[in-house]
Amino acid sequence: MNQNENKKAGGISALLGLNRTTRAGSYTMAMTLIVLAVLIVINLLVGTLPTSLTKLDSTPNDMYHISKTTEKFVSGITRDVDIIFLADGGSMTPTLQTFLERYTALNSRIHIKSVDPVANPTFLDNYSQITSSGNYLIVESDLRYTVIDISSLNYVYINDMNYTVSIDKYTALISNQNALQEAAQYGIDLSNATYYFGGESAVTSAIEYVVTENMPHVYLLSGNGEGALSQSVTELFDTVLLEYEPLVLQPGDTVPELASCVMINAPQNDLTASVADILIDYITGGGNLILISTPAVENMPNLARVMATVGARPTTGGMLYEGNANKYVGAPQNLMPTVNPQHVITYGVVQSENSYVMVMPRAHGILLDATLPEGVTATTLFSATDAYTVAADGKETDWGKVATGVVFENATTGSKVVWFSSMDAFSDSAAAAYGQGATYYLVMATNYLNDAYASTLTAIEARDITPSPLSVSLNAALTLGGIAIIVLPLGLIIGGVVVWARRRRR
How far is residue 463's CA from residue 450's CA, in Å, rounded to a whole number?
32
**Domain end: 11, 26, 47, which one?**
47
Report pLDDT for 6. 47
Give a yes or no: residue 36 inside a domain. yes
**Residue 308 and residue 235 share a domain:** yes
In a domain, 52, yes or no: no
Q: Is residue 457 part of a domain?
A: no
Q: Is 135 inside any structural domain?
A: no
Q: Is the pTM of this model over 0.95?
A: no
How many domains in the chain?
A: 3
φ and ψ of 213, to 5 deg: -65, -55
- Rounded to 10 deg, the angle between the 199-211 and 68-75 helix axes is 30
Query: Average pLDDT over the chain, rounded to whole?
Result: 83
Q: Are residues 173 and 314 in the same domain?
A: no
| Interacting residues of 79 by C-beta distance below 8 A, sequence separation 6+ | 109, 141, 142, 143, 211
Does residue 81 have a pLDDT over 50? yes
Q: Which CATH number fits the domain that encloses residue 308?
A: 3.40.50.880
Domain identity same for 312 and 414: yes
pLDDT tens, 87-101? 888 788 888 888 899
Is there a domain that residue 462 lies in? no
DSSP of 216-265: -EEEEE-SS-PPPPPHHHHHHHHHTT-EEEEE---TT----TT-SEEEEE
Q: Is 238 inside any structural domain?
A: yes
> Hey, is 144 helix, strand or coil?
coil
pLDDT, mean of residues 127-147: 86
The one-letter amino acid at 314: P
Condensed to tens digits (0 to 9), the pLDDT of residues 380-417 reads 999 999 999 998 888 899 999 999 999 999 999 999 99
Contact (Cβ atoms closer than 8 angstroms) between residue 207 and residue 110? yes
* 446-498: pLDDT as tens digits: 888 876 555 666 667 777 767 665 455 566 666 767 777 777 777 777 877 77
- My answer on whether 318 and 392 are in the same domain is yes
pLDDT at 272 (0 to 100): 95
Q: What is the pLDDT of residue 141?
A: 94
Q: Does residue 294 sit in the same domain as residue 410?
A: yes
- Same domain membership, residue 426 and residue 284: yes
pLDDT digits (tens, 9 = 90+) for 13-47: 554 455 555 555 566 666 677 767 776 766 666 55
Note whether 275 and 414 are same-domain residues. yes
Residue that terminates a domain, selected from 135, 170, 197:
197
What range defines the domain where residue 188 resides?
A: 154-197
The residues, ordered by sequence, that sit 6+ positions from 171 with a Cβ below 8 Å of its Cβ are none
- Statement to judge: residues 246 and 312 lie in one domain: yes
Name the most confidently modeled range: 2-11, 45-54, 83-92, 158-167: 83-92
Among residues 142, 165, 197, which one ends one of the domains? 197
Pick the range with the lowest mean pLDDT from 36-45, 141-150, 216-225, 270-279.
36-45
Residues of the chain with pLDDT > 70, as a percent, come to 82
Residues 302 and 372 in one domain: yes
- Residue 146 in 3-state DSSP? strand
Judge if 193 and 232 occupy the same domain.
no
The Cα 259–Cα 447 span in angstroms is 13
**281 and 407 share one domain:** yes
- Give, for 501, the enclosing helix (H) or strand (E): helix 488-505
Provide mean pLDDT across the span 285-294.
95
Cα Rg for the chain, rounded, in angstroms?
A: 35
Among candidate residues 292, 233, 237, 225, the one with its CA nearest the CA of residue 265: 292
The mean pLDDT of 233-251, rounded to a whole number, is 84
225 lies in some domain? yes
Nearest Cα neighbor of 109 from 145, 76, 63, 69 is 76
pLDDT of residue 154: 82
Residue 328 per-residue DSSP state: B
